[in-house]
Amino acid sequence: MRLLWSLGLIRGLVWGIVGTAIGIGFTMLVRMALGKPAWETAPVTFVAAVFGTLAFLAGVGAFADWWRWASGEEAGDPPHHHEGPEWVRYFNFDTDHKIIGVQYTITSLVLMFAAGIMALIMRLELAQSGLQFVTPEQFNSAMGLHGIVMIGSILLGVAGMANYLLPLMLGAPDMAFPRLNALSFWVAPPAAILLFLSLAFGGFDTGWTGYPPLGAVGATGKQFFYLGVFFLGFSSILGAINFITTTLKMRAPGMSMFRMPIFVWGVFAAAWIQLTGTQFIGTSFLMVVLERLLGMGFFDPEKGGDPVLFQHIFWFYSHPAVYIFVLPGLGVISELLPVFVRKPLFGYKWVALSSMGIATVGFLVWAHHMFTVGLPNEANTFFMFTTMLVAVPTGVKFFSWVATMWGGKIEFRTPMLFLLGAFVTFLLGGLTGPFLAVVPVDQYLHDTYFVVGHFHNTMFGGFVFPFLAAIYYWFPKVTGRMYSERLGKVHFWLMLVGFVAQTGSMFQTGLFGMRRRIADYDPSLGFDTIHLIGSIGGYLVFFSMLIFAYNMIRSLVAGEKAPANPWNSRSLEWLLPSPVKGVSWPTPPVVVGHPYDYGVPNATFVRLAPAGGSDRSSQTTTPAHETKEANR
């Protein structure tokens, strides 16, 4: 019992329930005092959800240090010593970026599985024409939840990688704001709970985009959806403040911006979108909630509002949002590729700047989601042009990868296979993009499965495959053990085949006019077989993820001990013991060279500062074998 209570997560849940109850009671009392009927679902649950979330955070202990500071005590530095078993830290408010990184990643994977189950429900229903398993409303809720939970999962996955890796790669002791960092993680679990609670209040049939006027009326489940997204956005913004500040202010001596690992560039560029763009989805959703609760007609033409305004605000975030997912993912590709090819990353500076380029251009393309709205032709043409422009910095990355691989000796280990999977799917996603960017073609393809296929390919190529590559690659770093290479390869091949089958069926049915967001289709369209193939592919993807989960859990318990640097990487994090204990870099190393000089004779990236008298004080990152390789 005492052990249970020592887990922040449990305390948070208990406090959260109590806070919710207090919120309900409080709102009902106020309503009675104002002479209104005590119970009305929407306002009461709204206040209860806010109270519950704050109480959850208080129960976890997120506010403890700030409370101390506000009441005049010194809160001091976050503690570095911990009592009790190590695993307990993962369930508590802990300021160590390595703990937070793992917390984020595990939560991300849990959400990914949950969203995957939603996808399985949809694929089951679509496998055959006619309605067999769910009602159209349930289908729509499953669809909306799949979308938004995946988005949450990806945001947390990005934050997981960034948190774990940034201080290790930059030679910093921790993130710039450790407490804020822990807070931004702990906002996510209650946000996820709110998203799923929407099911208990009638679900939401709007899809993840939540467009009014449909979003402004109907089941209270929508309100939970908007609120959950709002809190997720809050978490994302706080995280971005940490990523940017850490990147700008905590780099090791000698590490100029253009000597940073390329992954950090991806996170840095994405963080700017997180910091700025997220406010747009948050505010647009808040405005819909205000319309629902107080009748403020922001998007109601009868009251002087405008529903198209919502779409502008919403997409101003929600297009760049895909770059929040993709830039760190592409960063992983550029980061790992040189390691497995044993060659320098081609055009480092261009790749780094292309991330910033994508982040900038990404803010100028939002209305390509609105080509069927009836905007002026001039506007549509402008957004068609800017959308095409995105291909330029993205192409820079692609050609850099091809040039990096050119003439290299590729080691086909599991992370490398996932990089190849990323190339294939990202290329499919990239090549189908320009069709949708062209106004007349989009007016035909809009809201068909072609769009769904395009989007899933960019997401799998830009995030899911690189994310899985990153998990396999850094698994030995995080756990000190190796995963099973055999199971990793089985995972990869099943996933690639399943995914291509699934999105292939999306492209084909979409081209022939299959509408998205519809539970059923006319058998006379002749889509039954191709949908069935897509569904089998979808189940294959899920099955491969079960193999992945088994591999991770089994290797965590019984995997081989990992060598100090299993990939012969030059990057900073591999100079530390696996797993890294205590403060990541108590004394920052000194950077004297470039991170990707694989095979370059006598290239040194870093010298460890001699202070502290630790046993790793005189290493450099030029292993002997590098000099040999240089002769190739």
Q: Which two tokens mark 236?
A: 């994302």
Residue 313 makes contact with another protein by CB under 8 A: yes
Cβ proximity to another protein: between 273 and 552 the closer is 273
Q: How far apart are the first and last CA of the chain?
A: 62
454 contacts Cu ion (rule: CB under 5 A): no
Contact 144, 82 (CB under 8 A): no
416 in contact with another protein (CB under 8 A): no
Taking CB under 8 A as the rule, does residue 376 contact another protein?
Answer: no
The Cβ of residue 523 has, within 10 Å, a number of other Cβ atoms equal to 11
- How near is the Cβ of 612 to another protein at its closest, in Å? 6
d(CA 308, CA 94): 43
236 binds, among Cu ion, another protein, none (CB under 5 to 8 A by kind): none
Question: Which is nearer to Cu ion, 251 or 319 (by Cβ)?
Answer: 319
If the CB atoms of residues 259 and 319 are measured against Cu ion, the closer one turns out to be 319
Please identify, using beta-carbon distances, which residue of 381 and 614 lies nearer to another protein: 614
The answer to whether the beta carbons of residues 330 and 324 sit under 8 Å apart is no
Residue 290 makes contact with another protein by CB under 8 A:
yes
Considering only 304, 374, 376, 407, the residue that binds another protein (CB under 8 A) is 304
Instruction: Tell me if 456 contacts Cu ion by CB under 5 A.
Output: no
Q: Which one of the spans 33-41, 205-213, 282-290, 452-460 is the region binding another protein (CB under 8 A)?
A: 282-290
**Angstrom distance (rounded) from CA 393 to CA 400:** 11
How many beta carbons lie within 10 A of that of residue 70, not counting itself? 10
Tokens for 312, please give them. Answer: 């502008």
For residue 319, the partner it binds in another protein, Cu ion, none, with Cβ less than 5 to 8 A by kind, is Cu ion
- Strand-pairing partners, residue 591, are 606
Q: Which one, of 155, 328, 161, 118, lies nearest residue 229 by Cα?
A: 155
Inter-residue contact 613 to 599 (CB < 8 Å):
no
Q: Site for Cu ion (CB under 5 A): how many residues?
A: 1
Locate 2 and state its tokens.
């005492």
Looking at this protein, which amino acid is placed at residue 561? K
Of 147 and 254, CB closest to Cu ion: 147
| Site of tokens 């590709």 | 333
Of 460, 461, 475, give the one whose Cα is nearest residue 105: 475
Return the number of the residue (224 or 323) whose C-beta is nearest Cu ion. Answer: 323
Query: Pattern of binders to another protein over 579-598, x per CB under 8 A?
Result: --xxx--xxx----------
d(CA 502, CA 303) in angstroms, rounded, equals 44
- Residue 183 corresponds to which amino acid? L
Stretch that binds another protein, among 155-163, 377-385, 481-489, 577-585 (CB under 8 A): 577-585
Per CB under 8 A, 249 contacts another protein: yes
Of 14-22, 155-163, 244-252, 518-526: span binding another protein (CB under 8 A): 244-252
Task: Supply angle C-alpha 434, 438, 439, rounded to 5.
Answer: 155
User: Vertex 191, ends 185 and 194: CA angle to 5°?
Assistant: 160
For another protein, the binding residue among 6, 129, 138, 276 (CB under 8 A) is 276
Binding residues among 289-328 for Cu ion as defined by CB under 5 A = 319
Give CB contacts under 8 A, 24+ apart, made by 545-551: 545/112, 545/113, 545/116, 545/491, 545/495, 547/487, 547/490, 547/491, 547/494, 548/468, 548/487, 548/488, 548/491, 549/109, 549/113, 550/487, 551/483, 551/484, 551/487, 551/488, 551/491
CA distance 349 to 594: 11
2 part of the interface to another protein, by CB under 8 A: no
Q: Map the footprint of another protein across residues 167-196, applying CB under 8 A.
A: 173-174, 176-177, 180
Name the residue nearer to another protein (CB basis): 277 or 429. 277
Kindly report the CA angle at 273 between 271 and 275, in degrees rounded to 5? 65
Token digits for 558? 């019984």
Instruction: Specify the residue, 296 or 388, whose C-beta has the smaller distance to another protein.
Output: 296
* Number of residues engaging another protein in binding (CB under 8 A): 52
CB nearer to another protein: give 130 or 253.
Answer: 253
- Subset of residues 63 to 102 that bind another protein, contact rule: CB under 8 A: 70, 72, 77, 80-81
- Identify which range of 35-43, 151-159, 271-279, 514-522 contacts another protein by CB under 8 A: 271-279
Closer Cβ to Cu ion, 260 or 326, answer by number: 326
Q: Which residues bind another protein (CB under 8 A)?
A: 70, 72, 77, 80-81, 173-174, 176-177, 180, 237, 240-242, 244-245, 248-250, 253, 275-276, 278-280, 282-284, 287, 290, 294-298, 300, 302-306, 309, 313, 581-583, 586-588, 611-612, 614
Q: Which residues bind Cu ion (CB under 5 A)?
A: 319
